């Protein structure tokens, strides 16, 4: 017997927005989120139902069901959850890159998080001198810390290191020339390119030497009446190897000083401690660079320093004073949250023996391969048991990277899990599943495998990681 098709819904059966808003079903949601937001979500829900009704896609029974209590609640809950997914989401960084620019670079230490939260919820002496009872200097505390830690005469801070370089060039070399080695005209992440920054700052770039070799005489010959300063730029994200020659900081400083000019060094990452002491590749520190004769050094807050986004300028007091007088300084200044976090991070450097425990960046960078391998061994069995038969997962040695352009060639011995799949497209599908987890997991795909480097999985987060992994059932 042919079944009669269900009766189509009629638009007149759609309840009014007002009626739904008055229904007891929604009162708890209105209490929790306010009438304005629930009205907005309800209105778009009704609009969808109206469109599906006019398209004849809903039976009268479907529509009736959709506007009844539980289904309506579920729909609004889903809309709230969809909004929440647009917020920044915590992730598991198993890429092996510790300072991952796309994932927000350095993680802040507890001390900084507390300091920020305190400063956010109470008035603070940000620009107030409590002793004298009058206006104070916003940068004074950070300046004192930077000077104490680096031996600099003076210091100032701005929003990021790109801003620091722009400000330094605009303050000291507007409409004048800056001499830079051709091998150091770096581009960092697309938008920051030394020649472009020079132009924006109003400075004229004078490139000297060749891509692979630059000699002291190249600098000496380039200096003229319009020269404002000599500049050295840390190559950061690339390396020139083979038949190369570079004028070191001390030699550049000597040339600059012979001509009465300052030497500025953009260190990029800028470390305040000797990384070699932690088994990491050597990186020139800010204090070494100043001691070698640099008059100004600029560096990032959220790279090797392990702090918030910031750009720090340290060096000669007269140059810092000129920089602070530039109106651009005010435009590029750091916000309160960043400033407070930076102070807290710098303060940790006063107790260097404890730094590798307290500062997440250094803690992660200095983890040994043995430690990471033991963790991988621990995690392997429960991870394996949640995976389908056509996937295989095994322990594998890996190489982590510092990231953010610091020491691009340095390979930190690490370990993790290597996942392969016999099905075509299986790996990409699996990687997508991992990104869809409540706390998305990001690995690295290469050589027909998905590599999960465990360097950045802190032991405290293991249980949470495993709990959501077990729910995978790939
Ligand atoms: C990273 C870097 C910058 C930019 O620093 P941000 O803090 O990211 O703005 C500038 N110069 C060099 C050499 C760098 O490595």
Count of CB atoms situated within 10 Å of the CB of 213? 16
Of residues 170, 160, 245, 238, the one with CA closest to residue 204: 170
Nearest to 79 by CA among 46, 53, 45, 28: 45
Report whether residue 188 contacts ligand 1, using a CB cutoff of 6 Å: yes
- Distances in whole angstroms, Cα of residue 428 to Cα of each of 193, 270, 448: 34, 37, 10
Is the CB of 234 within 6 Å of ligand 1? Answer: yes
CA distance 415 to 412: 10
CA of 406 to the centre of ligand 1 (A): 10
Ligand 1 atom at shortest distance from the alpha carbon of 311: 7
Please compute, for residue 205, the number of CA atoms within 13 A of its CA located in the half-sphere on the CB side: 19
In terms of Cβ atoms closer than 10 Å to its own Cβ (0-12, 13-18, 19+), residue 69 is exposed
Q: For each of the chain's 474 residues, which pLDDT tens digit applies? A: 556 777 888 878 888 899 889 888 889 999 999 999 999 999 999 999 999 999 988 888 888 888 887 888 999 999 998 888 788 999 999 999 999 999 999 999 999 999 999 999 999 999 999 999 999 999 999 999 999 999 999 999 999 999 999 999 999 999 999 999 998 888 877 678 889 999 999 999 999 988 888 899 988 999 999 999 999 998 877 788 888 888 899 999 999 999 999 999 999 988 999 999 998 988 899 999 999 999 999 999 999 999 999 999 999 999 999 999 999 999 999 999 999 999 999 999 999 999 999 999 999 999 999 999 999 999 999 999 999 889 999 999 999 999 887 677 788 999 999 999 999 999 999 999 999 999 999 999 999 999 999 999 999 999 999 999 998 865
Ligand 1 and 45: CB distance under 6 A? no
> Using CA atoms, how far apart are residues 345 and 321, in angstroms rounded to an integer?
24
Measuring from atom 7 of ligand 1, which residue has the nearest CA? Answer: 161
Binding site membership of 405 for ligand 1 (Cβ less than 6 Å): yes
Please report, to the nearest 10 degrees, the dihedral formed by the alpha carbons of residues 164, 168, 169, 173 taken in order: 170
What is the pTM for the complete model shown?
0.90
Exposure string (b/e) for 149-165, b if CB count within 10 Å is 16 or more?
bbebebbbbbbbbbbbb
Which ligand 1 atom sits nearest the alpha carbon of residue 101? 8
Rounded CA separation 98/105 (Å): 8
CB within 8 Å of 79: residues ≥ 6 apart:
41, 44, 45
What's the 328 CA to ligand 1 centre distance in angstroms?
18
User: Which residue from 405, 407, 408 has its CB within 8 A of the most atoms of ligand 1, so it is best to mutate?
Assistant: 405
Nearest-CA neighbor of 254 among 216, 227, 222?
216
- Atom nearest to 269 CA in ligand 1: 15
User: Ligand 1 atom 14: the closest Cα is on which residue?
Assistant: 268
User: Can you read off the two tokens belonging to residue 75?
Assistant: 């729909």
Structure tokens given for 471: 């729910």
Instruction: Please report the atom of ligand 1 found closest to the CA of residue 235.
Output: 13
Q: Whose CA is nearest to atom 3 of ligand 1?
A: 268
- Which ligand 1 atom lies nearest to the CA of residue 236? 15
């Amino acid at each position: 017997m042919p079944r009669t098709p269900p009766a189509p819904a009629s638009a007149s059966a759609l309840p009014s927005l007002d009626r739904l808003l008055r229904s007891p079903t929604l009162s708890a949601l209105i209490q929790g989120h306010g009438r304005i937001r629930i009205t907005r979500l309800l209105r778009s829900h009704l609009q969808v139902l109206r469109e599906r009704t006019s398209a004849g896609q809903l039976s009268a029974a479907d529509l009736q069901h959709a506007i009844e209590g539980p289904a309506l609640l579920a729909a609004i809950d889903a809309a709230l959850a969809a909004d929440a997914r647009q917020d920044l989401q915590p992730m598991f960084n198993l890429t092996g890159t510790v300072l991952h620019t796309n994932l927000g670079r350095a993680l802040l230490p507890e001390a900084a998080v507390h300091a920020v939260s305190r400063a956010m919820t109470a008035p603070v002496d940000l620009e107030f001198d409590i002793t004298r009872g009058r206006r104070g200097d916003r940068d004074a505390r950070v300046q004192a810390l930077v000077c104490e830690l680096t031996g600099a005469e003076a210091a100032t801070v701005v929003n990021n290191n790109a801003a620091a370089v722009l400000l330094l060039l605009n303050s000291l070399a507007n409409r004048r020339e800056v001499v830079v080695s051709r091998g150091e005209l770096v581009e960092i992440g697309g938008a920051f390119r030394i020649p472009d920054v020079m132009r924006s700052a109003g400075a004229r770039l004078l490139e000297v030497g060749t891509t692979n070799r630059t000699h002291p005489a190249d600098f000496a010959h380039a200096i003229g009446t319009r020269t404002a300063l000599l500049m050295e730029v840390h190559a950061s994200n690339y390396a020139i190897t083979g038949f190369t020659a570079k004028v070191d900081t001390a030699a550049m400083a000597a040339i600059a000083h012979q001509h009465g000019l300052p030497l500025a060094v953009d260190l990029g990452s800028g470390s305040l401690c000797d990384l070699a002491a932690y088994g990491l590749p050597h990186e020139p520190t800010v204090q070494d660079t100043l001691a070698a004769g640099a008059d100004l050094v600029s560096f990032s807050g959220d790279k090797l320093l392990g702090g918030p986004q910031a750009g720090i300028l340290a060096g000669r007091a007269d140059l810092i004073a000129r920089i602070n007088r530039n109106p651009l300084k005010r435009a590029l200044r750091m916000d309160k949250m960043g400033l407070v976090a930076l102070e807290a991070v710098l303060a940790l450097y006063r107790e260097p023996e404890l730094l590798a425990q307290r500062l997440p960046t250094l803690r992660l960078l200095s983890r040994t391969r043995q430690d990471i391998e033991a963790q991988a061994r621990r995690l392997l069995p429960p991870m394996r048991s949640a995976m389908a038969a056509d996937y295989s997962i095994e322990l594998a040695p890996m190489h982590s990277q510092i990231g953010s352009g610091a020491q691009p060639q340095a390979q930190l011995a690490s370990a993790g899990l290597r996942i392969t799949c016999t099905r075509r497209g299986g790996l990409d599908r699996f990687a997508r599943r991992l990104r869809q987890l409540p706390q998305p997991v990001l690995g690295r795909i290469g050589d027909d495998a998905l590599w999960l480097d465990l360097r950045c999985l802190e032991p405290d987060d293991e249980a949470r990681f495993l709990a959501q992994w077990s729910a995978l059932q790939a």
